[in-house]
């Protein structure tokens, strides 16, 4: 009987430890919890969406490009009917971005849009870029760039080269149309 009670107690403590370790305040959990809700738009981009045949990458740029695995977008459009819910959801997203496991890279505003850019991983070897873009008129979007050993200081150089490439316009058009409707 003592063995049975010990087993039950140990199982309870293990379950309690497992549940308490789950980080409810993470971008990944926010995406999972909201991706199927009708008021949210979710789009995933893969690197193979980009036609890079016209772009001549240096070996260094190829390595940077290959460090990207995928991009996830979760968007919420504000309307007159959902302003209160929009404020609640935006506050949840901002709170998650303030989580200590995400390092703030920069925060800025441009033409009424607020941007917050965070990273996860080592300073010179980032595993995730997180962008929160919000506008009280349009809504907000969370962009999650997932990769392996991405280098923030070389990202701008890569983006400049990729602007020469063709992107599947249908995927990007979905995001733009979502906020225009």
pLDDT higher at 6 or 141: 141
3-class SS string, 19-64: HHHCCCCCHHHHHHHHCCCCCEEEEEECHHHEECCCCCCCHHHHHH
For the residues 85-101, what does the mean pLDDT come to? 93
Q: Lowest mean pLDDT: which of 21-25, 115-119, 127-131, 143-147?
A: 21-25
pLDDT higher at 122 or 157: 122
List, for residues 129-171, the tens digit of each pLDDT value: 899 999 988 999 999 988 887 776 666 666 666 555 554 555 5
The whole-number pLDDT of residue 20 equals 36
Is the pLDDT reported for residue 41 higher than 70? yes
Distances (CA, A) of 112 to 2, 32, 85, 139, 140: 66, 28, 20, 11, 12
Is the pLDDT reported for residue 33 higher than 60? yes
Is the pLDDT reported for residue 79 higher than 80? yes
Q: Please, is 7 exposed, middle or buried when counting C-beta atoms within 10 Å of its C-beta (0-12, 13-18, 19+)? A: exposed
How far is it, in rounded angstroms, from Cα 171 to Cα 1?
61
Is the pLDDT reported for residue 60 higher than 70? yes
The whole-number pLDDT of residue 181 equals 62
The whole-number pLDDT of residue 87 equals 93
For the residues 78-100, what does the mean pLDDT come to? 91
The whole-number pLDDT of residue 65 equals 75
Token pair, residue 89, equals 């959801």
Average pLDDT, the chain: 76
The whole-number pLDDT of residue 158 equals 63
């Amino acid at each position: 009987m003592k063995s049975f009670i010990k087993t039950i107690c140990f199982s309870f403590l293990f379950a309690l430890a497992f549940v308490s370790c789950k980080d409810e305040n993470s971008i990944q959990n926010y995406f999972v919890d909201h991706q199927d809700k009708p008021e949210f738009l979710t789009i995933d981009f893969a690197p193979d969406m980009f036609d890079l045949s016209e772009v001549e990458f240096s070996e260094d740029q190829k390595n940077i490009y290959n460090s990207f695995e995928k991009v996830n977008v979760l968007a919420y459009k504000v309307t007159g009917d959902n302003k209160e819910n929009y404020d609640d959801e935006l506050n949840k997203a901002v709170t998650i971005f303030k989580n200590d496991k995400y390092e703030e890279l920069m925060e800025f505003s441009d033409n009424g849009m607020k941007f917050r850019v965070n990273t996860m991983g080592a300073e010179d070897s980032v595993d995730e870029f997180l962008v929160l873009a919000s506008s009280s008129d349009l809504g907000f979007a969370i962009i999650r760039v997932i990769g392996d050993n991405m280098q923030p200081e070389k990202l701008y150089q890569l983006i400049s080269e990729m602007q020469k490439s063709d992107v599947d316009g249908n995927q990007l058009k979905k995001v733009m149309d979502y906020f225009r409707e």
